[in-house]
Amino acid sequence: PRAAADWTPPERRSETREQLLEAAARLFAERGFAGVSVRMIAAEAGVNWSLVGYYFRGKERLLAEVYRRHCSTLNRERLRLLGEARRAGLHLESVAEAFVRPALAEIEGPNGQFSRLRAMLAAEDVPLFTQLVADNFDQSSRTFVAALRECLPELSADDVLWRFHFMLGTIYYSASSPQRIKAFSRGRCDPGDLEETVRHLVPFLAAAFRSAPPSSPRTRRRARGSKGNVRR
């Protein structure tokens, strides 16, 4: 027999699907992937639990769709800002801002839930998370790394990748623990204030990207040895 959902009008099917996506996003952001069951998602959405399987074939694919939808919006905004930066004349600060601004805007905005979701999944170390990040961010990350290398021709590819990795860390921490600095500063420093955060973060990142590459262990040993041979 055909599933009951087959007789549901198309507009109602779309509404049910959206309810499941919104419920799943809320619960995953609050409890992580492992802490949420299919039945919990269905109860939150106010629908029968079997509809999770009907629309998404299970919890993993539901998470993947939640993640994909938000990443599409984030990547689109990042690439739009990068395009504007290129037209104005590419420089390091504009590349950094094009990357961090859309992500920081999510922390206290309507998509703040997704920032918390990403932080929860990273902390939980869900195997699916690694694949989701690769599927949704690899292409845009390559685009930004290439732009950063244009601005920093004196650095090696690996030096830029390390610094790009540390830039990601600032975003994740701001998303997962924005209350820490706010409490510590008694409200003076608030990551929820997008413009103030960007004003402080972009120069900080630019200075870090422009810093001299670290010397290799071999170079440091040689330097220490030469100092020891100096005649006194």
Burial class (CB in 10 A: 0-12, 13-18, 19+), 195: exposed
Assign 145 a pLDDT band (cuts: 50, 70, 90): very high
**What does the pLDDT read at residue 228?**
53
Q: What's the pLDDT tens digit per position in 160-172?
A: 999 999 999 888 7
Mean pLDDT of all residues in 129-153:
94
DSSP 8-state code for residue 185:
T
pLDDT band of 2, cuts 50, 70, 90: very low
- pTM for the full predicted model: 0.77
Q: d(Cα 26, Cα 114) in Å, to the nearest integer?
A: 9
Q: Give the pLDDT confidence score for residue 230 in this predicted structure.
A: 46
| Higher-scoring residue by pLDDT: 127, 160 | 160
For residue 91, the number of C-alpha atoms closer than 13 Å in the C-beta half-sphere is: 7
* Continuous segment of H or E residues that includes residue 14: helix 10-31
pLDDT digits (tens, 9 = 90+) for 92-114: 999 999 999 998 887 655 556 77
Give me the mean pLDDT over the 2-11 stretch.
Answer: 49
- C-alpha dist (Å) from residue 63 to 28, 78, 188, 207, 212: 8, 22, 36, 37, 41
